[in-house]
Chains A and B, each alone.
Chain A
Amino acid sequence: MKTSTAWLIGRPRTSAGRTRTLLVAGGAAVGGGLLIAAAAVLRVPAEEVRYLDGGGTVSSSSGEYSSLVVQAGLRPGVLTGILLLVLPALALAWQAVTTGSARRAAVHEGLRLSGATPADLRRVAMLEPAVAGAFGGLLAGAVYLALWLLLHVAAPASARLLPGLSPLDAVAWLVVIALSTLVGGVAGALAATPRRRRPVRAWPRLLAVGVGVLALVAAVSAPRDIDRHARSTTLLCAALVVLALGLLSTGSIWVTARARRLARSGTAVDVLAAGGLRTLAGPAGRTAGTTCVAGLVIGVVGSLTGLLLEPQHSLSESLPGILFALLAGLLAMLAAVASLVLAATDDLVTTRRAVASTAALGADPTVLEQVQRRRLAVVTTGPLLAGVLLGGLYAPGAQSPIALGTVLLTVALALLLARALAVAVTRVLRPQLARAAAPSSLRVA
């Protein structure tokens, strides 16, 4: 098949398709921009500390950068923070690539019946995410530039997190463009590969979460003298990444368990919500996973902010860290919101015949909206709260009431946020729900 034919067939035509492409590009842009930033942080000259014979230390730091990026013990923490932000962005992009599975199955069935070979199908499936990835890679340069303006140009010298621009940034940018194109293409092909339905094996996923939690607790409880600081920070970072990956993969287990429970409750709304969740346990699980990781980031951000607000830190010293933490929290929230809207829209498109049948059987719009809200609550409230609480483990050493209060405030805010999200997304998607419930949806195969 010619590439032009593959593009003719596979290019996004509907508004849902275009939104999906934009989300893939957006996820790749944010993830890519942050990766360029991580590479740039590695260029900042590390501080060398010499111990004096008479006690005390001498630092080689020029004072041009924040201690967060020059101290050997703190830099891995910043890099992990960046990596943790990359994860929800990429999870969102992956969710966007894999979304619309029912529609994609119909497209592939139509193509297959017309004589498209498996290679043709792969090519069609690869092209759109690859182009979106390339576009996202290009935008990653702009994202990095914005970060550089914020964390280098606008920041006072002692608070800078990024070094000046260098040709190496351009090299990193090119690598990001190539990688995001390649990863986009491979992700598209993977999402389109028919897989045999196998029961989800829960234990390896739960094991990953368990290992992540244990490593996190071990790292946080480790003694923090100057020699071991770098080691414990690295362990902490690794624990957070393992935990985030584990959480991303356990979403469908949570959704399936909740669906079973809702089905047992017996009310019409719960039973209908459970049916939808069971049918779409995979996509709903991916949303729950992304929301949980966003919660983890918010939890870590809350803990960090609490630690930085403790009286022993001066405001000028903590300010870049607090700003960075708030930016991270904002990005995580945006990823959670985008993931939720994407999933809810896709859910309505995929299940529109079922929605129309339910409406035809006499369910009024209020009931349909309640079902929608119940499903959204399953993938937001529990996962977000679990993520925030796990992120809160980051700061059990918080001594002051301020630090502890910040953690508790974060948990309360997350709970409110989850509730508000479910309500807001249901309201925003009212027109789509009305379209799905229309009698014309009964004709959809």
Chain B
Amino acid sequence: MNPPTLTLSAVSHTYGRTQALRDATLSVAPGEVVAVTGPSGCGKSTLLLLAAGVLRAQSGRVTVAGTELSGVDDTARALVRRRSIGLVLQFGQLVPDLPVRDNVALPLLLEGHPAADARAAADGWLDRVGLAVGPDTLPSELSGGQAQLAAAARALVHGPALLLADEPTASLDTRSGRALLDLMLATTVAAGGAVLLVTHDNTVAARADREVRLRDGVIEHEVALS
């Protein structure tokens, strides 16, 4: 059996006096889709940011694709994020000064790919997510849903081993949301990658193999869905 792509072992995190996550233990195997659900403020997004290495776990261990993130510096965590993780956050979090196409090409550009190749790959992914933009279109010209599509293209462009998505379809209509989810799951799982979805939406959660429910920063229960 392959080792898990993502492992969280007894991970805790606090913001000031607020305990956002307590002793969370979770693993996601290659090819598996896990949905994290729970009420607002229960620690779902914190769990996702810890898995992405954006936040450093204050206690416990986070391992992504064989690298233990809690024990390495910012540079090493950034490199893991660049090479092994695709991240889709709720508002897209695109770089406002860069054209949308370059935003999507960013993980490849950072990795040192020639700009022409990176942009060609970005064009391909923009086409696949169904976002038609000009070469100089800026993120400020996109709607919330379009920004989310662009963020999804950016997360998939480098074929990540782990796709992390926080409410990836929240700004999209039902049909576009379903199409995007199909694309994200099919592409990642087909390549042997793992997916961790954070969502409020039961229809999105139902697409996962397993649901992990959080309440007040604690994993309440896990349910196999398929």
Tell me if B115 and A109 are in contact (CB < 8 A).
no
Tell me if B109 and A106 are in contact (CB < 8 A).
no
A439 near B: Cβ within 8 Å?
no
Question: CB-defined interface of B106-125 with A at 8 Å, one 1/0 digit per residue?
Answer: 11011110010000000000
Q: Hey, which chain B residues are within 8 Å of A116, CB to CB? A: 78, 82, 110
Q: Hey, which chain A residues are within 8 Å of B74, CB to CB? A: 117-118
Q: Measured between C-beta atoms, what is the minimum distance from A67 to chain B in Å?
A: 53
A121, closest chain B residue (CB): B78
A175 near B: Cβ within 8 Å?
no
Q: Hey, which chain B residues are within 8 Å of A106, CB to CB? A: 93, 95-96
B102 near A: Cβ within 8 Å?
yes
Tell me if A443 and B144 are in contact (CB < 8 A).
yes
Tell me if A114 and B154 are in contact (CB < 8 A).
yes
A119 near B: Cβ within 8 Å?
yes
Question: CB-defined interface of A1-12 with B at 8 Å, one 1/0 digit per residue?
Answer: 110110011000
Tell me if A115 and B144 are in contact (CB < 8 A).
no
A361 near B: Cβ within 8 Å?
no
Number of contacts between A and B (CB, 8 Å)?
Answer: 85
State in angstroms the CA–CA spacing of A113 and B94 once bound together.
9
* A112 contact from B78, B79, B85, B103, Cβ within 8 A: B78
A50 near B: Cβ within 8 Å?
no
Tell me if A113 and B87 are in contact (CB < 8 A).
yes
Tell me if B97 and A111 are in contact (CB < 8 A).
no
A103 near B: Cβ within 8 Å?
yes
Q: Measured between C-beta atoms, what is the minimum distance from A113 to chain B in Å?
A: 5
Q: Give the interface size bracket for A toward B.
A: 20 to 34
* A114 contact from B107, B112, B115, Cβ within 8 A: B107
State in angstroms the CA–CA spacing of A287 and B78 once bound together.
35
* B81 contact from A1, A14, A113, Cβ within 8 A: A113
Q: Hey, which chain A residues are within 8 Å of B98, CB to CB? A: 9, 13, 107, 110
Tell me if B82 and A114 are in contact (CB < 8 A).
yes
A120 near B: Cβ within 8 Å?
yes
Tell me if B91 and A445 are in contact (CB < 8 A).
yes
A17 near B: Cβ within 8 Å?
yes
**Interface core residue of B81, B102, B109 (most chain A CB under 10 Å):** B109
Tell me if B109 and A5 are in contact (CB < 8 A).
yes
* A110 contact from B75, B93, B140, Cβ within 8 A: B93
Q: Please, could you name 5 A-B residue pairs with CB atoms under 8 Å apart, sorted by A?
A: A1-B110, A111-B110, A112-B54, A443-B143, A445-B93
Residues of B within 8 A of A (CB): 52, 54, 74-75, 78-79, 81-83, 85, 87, 89, 91, 93-98, 102-103, 106-107, 109-112, 115, 138, 140, 143-144, 154
Besides A2-B112, A110-B95, A113-B52, 13 other CB < 8 A contacts?
A: A8-B115, A14-B97, A107-B95, A110-B93, A111-B95, A111-B110, A114-B82, A115-B85, A116-B82, A117-B82, A118-B78, A119-B75, A445-B93
Closest 7 CB pairs of A and B: A115-B82, A110-B95, A117-B78, A115-B81, A117-B75, A114-B106, A445-B91
